[in-house]
Amino acid sequence: MVAAATLHAFSTELLIGSMTFTVTVTLLRLVATFSGLFTDNIRKGLDQAAFFASLFALAAIPLVILTGNFAAENNSTSPMIVNKVLLSGLCLGLWVGVVHGRWTWGPELWSRKGTALFHSAITCAAYGVAAMLGSIGGLLTRGETVGDLLGFWPHFGSAPELGYGLSITLALLSLVTLLIVIFIQPRGEPIEDGSGRIAESLDQ
Amino acid sequence: MRRTFILAGLLLLVLVVPSHSANPGGMGDSSRDFSCGGSCHGDPGLSQSSSAEFQFELDRASAYVGGPISITVSATGMELSPRGLVGLFLLADTHGVADTPEDAGWTILSDGAGGSGNYVENHAFDSTTGVSVTWSLIAPPSEGVYTLYAQAHHGGDGSPRMNLSQAFTIDVGPIPENLPQMIDWEPMTSRGLGETSTMTLPVVNATSVHLEYRIGEGQITSVAVGLENNVWTTELPAALSDIVVHYRIVMTNDEFSETTGWITVGMDEGGYSADLTAVRLQALALMLTSLALCITIQRRMARPAHSKDEPPAALISVDQTDILAASFAPTTLAMDDPRRPFGWSDEQWQHYGAAHIVEHQGGGL
């Protein structure tokens, strides 16, 4: 029988590996957008590699959260684990945003500097949150983190203490916000590339 | 040639991988089996043997069934990592599972570090001084010769290291008749700062009971324990700072004087607690909010920028110009209004005058 902690380590390595790959390739594609580097084939390959790696990471996130939940001891008494749960939600939300952006904008997102920058920014932000999660894991299991090499890296030794009622209110408000965004906010139009070709969009 | 360089570079990267270190920050005091070493320290491919030498010391020659006994394990002469962290186990056997002293019938009252586990981590100043842990135990409920082992886990010279002691035997004999003893006692091993601890002691066969306590290795203070309604009850004074307090119970009658091992009281950390369901709801809120933010920005950015001069679509859809014009338009216009264009008929001025004023002069009378 494999312990939950071992499964958590395994799934975490899958997640961080695929996220690191996604971020690296996304940044390379961003550089191509701004500098004109690389051929069209390489640009297309970078975009698709980032997209499929982000899909793989998205599939790995729930596995990491579940195994981490089973592996944790005394979840409710450790501020660091509470922070880990909170940051897991943020990481998942941002990463779904990354996948949603690429899915709806299509590969032509790289034809506009604004969308290319925003997509790269949320990809990096989600990766930063994942790095914080890994840092907390390192502190819990090994008592130290590579983040210690950075003077500003937070240690998450304290966590917010919100009551049950306020938590339900926040969850409902956020759900209403998301529903408003999905069903009421006007949808964007497909992005056109420089040649006037309309990018495929599944958000219609 | 380029491939050769790439392959050489990759090979170099493989060769410079540092030797493995298990958990240099430790795993924390706990109750652990011998198999805890199976993943890191116990793996012969990763771990190396330790030079640690063990010494056992008992506070009495033998133990009685269910009676108290303290065992001090010292480990010296080991290699040390820069942290100097050494974890000491007290084990009942080395099968790998179910080998803690509890599994053999012992009860750990105190591990000397404010807990009651069989694994304690300490920082060694140097290998000559080493580390030392005193466990306060209650002997198993049946007579016999019991074996205990000590095991040390630590790092040194860039590798995880471990060593297992020789077997150490303890005779557990029958209880002498009329021996004062504690029955099913769960000692207090931690408390909050400034808390006075009231303790109920299940002592039998005793005519007098004393609570002895000391701060660190300081002077021992003895307090008589009162008997009220056949219950021995006493109080351990509050600690006003983060100090290490040890206490023990001395039970006497006409024939015997029996003493428990020293029990160490740790400080509760912070007292933080959170409702995990509430935390999960907060995580859900964070997830939905961040996703909503991403989607709304993505939709906003996906709209075509037709012209820099053209107002955004959202503003167009709520264009209120006509309503404003109507509200500002005069209800009656004077026929001699100086703004009336030359050549307009009265009827023309009545019908289109208001719109003319709004269009050319900003509305209002």
pLDDT at A195 over 50: no
* Three-class SS state of B56: strand
The per-residue pLDDT for A161 is: 77
Q: In Å, how far is A40's CA from the nearest CA of chain B?
A: 23
Distances (CA, A) of A191 to A55, B52, B202: 21, 68, 79
Question: Which residues of chain A are within 8 Å of residue B288 when distances are taken between CB atoms?
Answer: 93, 171, 174-175, 177-178
Please report which confidence band the pLDDT of residue A197 belongs to, taking 50, 70 and 90 as the band edges. very low
Taking the model in full, what pTM does it have? 0.54
* Three-class SS state of A51: helix
Give the pLDDT mean for A71-76: 60
Per cent of chain A over pLDDT 90 is: 41
Question: Which residues of chain B are within 8 Å of residue A178 when distances are taken between CB atoms?
Answer: 288-289, 291-292, 295
pLDDT one-digit tens code per residue, A126-154: 999 999 988 888 887 777 777 777 777 77
- Work out whether strand B144-156 and strand B48-49 pair parallel, antiparallel, or are unpaired: unpaired
The phi, psi pair for A175, rounded to 5°, reads -65, -45
Q: What is the ipTM of this complex?
A: 0.88
Distance between CA atoms of residues B93 and B102, nearest Å: 11
The per-residue pLDDT for A26 is: 95
Whether A168 sits inside 8 A of B295 (CB atoms) is no
DSSP structure string for A16-37: HHHHHHHHHHHHHHHHHHHH--
The number of CA neighbours under 13 Å toward the Cβ of B162 is: 23
Question: Which residues of chain A are within 8 Å of residue B275 when distances are taken between CB atoms?
Answer: 76, 163-164, 167
Out of A62-71, A150-159, B260-269, least confident range: A150-159
Whether B315 and chain A come into contact, CB under 8 Å, resolves to: no
Distance between CA atoms of residues A131 and A43, nearest Å: 27
CATH class of B179-270: mainly beta
The per-residue pLDDT for B356 is: 80
Whether A144 sits inside 8 A of B278 (CB atoms) is no
Whether B62 and chain A come into contact, CB under 8 Å, resolves to: no
Distance between CA atoms of residues A1 and B41, nearest Å: 20
- Could you say which of B280, B290, B303 has the minimum Cβ distance to residue A188? B303
Q: In Å, how far is B123's CA from the nearest CA of chain A?
A: 14
* Three-class SS state of B48: strand
Q: Which pair of structure tokens corresponds to residue B316? A: 């167009």
Whether B283 sits inside 8 A of A89 (CB atoms) is yes
Report the candidate in A198, A41, A187, A191 with the shortest Cα–Cα distance to residue A119.
A191
Low-confidence ranges of chain B (pLDDT < 50): 19, 37-38, 307-318, 363-365
Q: In Å, how far is A48's CA from the nearest CA of chain B?
A: 19
Plot region of B262 (φ>0 → left; ψ -120 to 50 → alpha; else → beta) = beta
Fold observed for domain B19-175: Immunoglobulin-like (2.60.40)
Question: Which residues of chain B are within 8 Å of residue A64 when distances are taken between CB atoms?
Answer: none
Report the candidate in B184, B315, B180 with the shortest Cα–Cα distance to residue B255.
B180
Measured from the Cβ of residue B60, the count of other Cβ atoms closer than 10 Å reads 14
The per-residue pLDDT for B38 is: 47
The amino acid present at A120, given as its one-letter code, is: S
Angle at alpha carbon of residue B42, lines to B118 and A64, rounded to 5°: 85
Whether A77 sits inside 8 A of B272 (CB atoms) is yes
Whether A159 sits inside 8 A of B272 (CB atoms) is yes
Q: How many CB pairs under 8 A join A and B?
A: 163
Mutate to test the interface with A, among B290, B296, B316 (most CBs of A within 10 A): B290
The number of CA neighbours under 13 Å toward the Cβ of A125 is: 17
Question: Which residues of chain A are within 8 Å of residue B276 when distances are taken between CB atoms?
Answer: 75-76, 85
Residue pair B153/B162 in contact by the 8 Å Cβ criterion: yes
**Intervals of CATH 2.60.40.10 along chain B:** 19-175, 179-270
